[in-house]
Structure 1
Amino acid sequence: MSSAPSATLPREDTDVSEQVFAAHPYHVVVWNDPVNLMSYVAWVFRSYFGHSKEKAHQLMLQVHHDGRAVVATGPREKAERDVTAMHSYGLQATLEEA
């Protein structure tokens, strides 16, 4: 009896659209604002996301000059938590499909 490995087949109790939705990546976008200091924004990126000093500085400059920067990408639930965390730090952030 030959059958495909179960790992390659969708689970019967899970809709295929739910599996695609769960696997689809999302961006966490931080927006420029007139309130927060650039040094603070870079510190948040280092503290929360664990970016290196150089990467945090680069992202902070992108926010400052371009008005926005993608600071993280991942599953929707994680991205939603990250957006909420950015709000708790006083930063403007949104979620968008990757």
Structure 2
Amino acid sequence: MGMTVLQSTPRVDEDVDLRERIDPDRPWQAVVWDDPVNLMSYVTHVFREYFGLPRADAERLMLAVHNEGRAVVAEGVREQMELHVQAMHDYGLWATVRRAPQ
């Protein structure tokens, strides 16, 4: 009779964790997602008021949210992105934090 050797295969989440440890300087992003509730004018207002953006920049981001389903509104250290996301939630917008793509 032969012996069966079981080998452990890495899980996908372990791979992601490993990438984060290899590249700790890769920035984080605050992403605002499209929702069925907020008007485009309100989203533009939030971006102008909270981020201090000129109208054209705020409208460009709002249109990305509306047309593409999401927009990256800020990029930097994780703690700051978490603060931005909490602020977006306080305004009633849907937002998440994610690692910037490589």
- The two structures have a TM-score, normalised by structure 1, of 0.76
- Structure 2 spans left out of the alignment, 5+ residues: 1-20
1:29 correspondence with 2:26: no
1:53 to 48, 52, 55: 55
* Match among 81, 85, 88 for residue 86 of structure 1: 88
Q: Which runs of 5+ in 1 are unaligned?
A: 1-16
CA distance in 2, matches of 1:40, 1:74: 25
Q: What is the root-mean-square deviation in Å for CA atoms of aligned residues?
A: 1.2
Counterpart among 67, 74, 77 of residue 72 in structure 1: 74
Instruction: Write out the 4+ residue segments of structure 1 that deviate beyond 3 Å after TM superposition.
Output: none
AA in 2 matched with 1:87:
H
% same residue: 57
Asked which structure has the greater CA Rg, the reply is 2
- Which SS does the other structure have where 2:47 is aligned? helix
- Counterparts of 2:68 and 2:38 in 1: how far apart (Å)? 16
Give CA deviations for 1:46-97 in whole Å, capped at 9, x if unaligned: 1111111000000000000000000111110000000000000000000010
Give the aligned partner of residue 97 of structure 1: 99
Cα contact 1:24–1:76 (8 A) shared by 2: no
Count of residue correspondences: 79
